[in-house]
Amino acid sequence: MSEKKVVSRRVAIALGIICVVLATSLGGIAFSLNSQITSLQKQVNDLKDIIALEKYEIWADHETLSQPARSYAYWTFSASYAGYLTVTVHTSTTDNTYVRVIWSSYGVDYDHSIIVGRSGIAVFPILPCSNIEIRVGNTNLLSGATETVTITYYY
């Protein structure tokens, strides 16, 4: 009879150890799954923000530039998502300041200019592409111009 009790005790201890190992493993799996769910929820929220055009990048922040008469300064950027650009001319030394955006994507060739004068905001649609050219210039015949500009990409 004592032999049976020893076997039963050993079986009980072995089962207890197995239960502890399984419980620990399940706790680790639950933590891992929780972590994955949190990560996926963050990705979903980021994608919802993109769909709603609530994300943005500042490509140029209050940059001051100068150019001679009938000239322009330019930047080249790439965009991963469809969205729009705002080009804010905070100040300019001329009424003849313009903003021009040029890009080509998905068979669409875009080239548009907006005159902003001494200050203003120009807004342009964009599609995903690797070569967006943004120009800020002047149409003065004799004198150059100086502008302070911010460019923001919303997607």
Q: Which of 52, 69, 95 is the last residue of a domain?
A: 52
Same domain, 72 and 6: no
- Among 90, 94, 96, 141, which residue's Cα sits nearest to residue 115? 96
Same domain, 108 and 44: no
Same domain, 38 and 102: no
- Among 31, 88, 79, 29, which residue's Cα sits nearest to residue 56? 79
* Run of H or E including 107: none
Query: What CATH number did the domain enclosing 77 receive?
Result: 2.60.120.380
Token pair of 103 as six digits: 């890009």
Kind of pairing between the strands at 145-154 and 56-67: antiparallel
How far is 46 from 82, CA to CA, in rounded Å? 15
pTM, two decimal places: 0.79
Token pair of 31 as six digits: 């933590």
Same domain, 92 and 145: yes
Domain that holds residue 119: 56-154
The 10s digit of each residue's pLDDT in 88-143 is: 999 999 999 999 999 999 999 999 999 999 999 999 999 999 999 999 999 999 99
Least confident segment among 22-26, 33-37, 103-107: 22-26
Same domain, 135 and 148: yes
**Cβ-contact 136, 86 below 8 angstroms:** no
Q: Which of 9, 33, 52 is the last residue of a domain?
A: 52
Same domain, 40 and 106: no
Structural domains of the chain, count: 2
pLDDT for 152 beyond 70: yes
Same domain, 122 and 71: yes
How far is 59 from 149, CA to CA, in rounded Å? 10
Percent of the chain with pLDDT over 70: 95
**Cβ-contact 60, 96 below 8 angstroms:** no
Task: Give every strand in the sheet of 72-79, ordered side by side.
Answer: 72-79, 129-138, 97-105, 108-115
Least confident segment among 30-34, 57-61, 87-91, 142-146: 30-34
**Cβ-contact 147, 136 below 8 angstroms:** yes
CA geometry: angle 47, 48, 51, nearest 5 deg: 90
Q: Which of 52, 72, 91 is the last residue of a domain?
A: 52
Rounded to a whole number, what is the distance in angstroms from the first to the last CA of the chain?
78
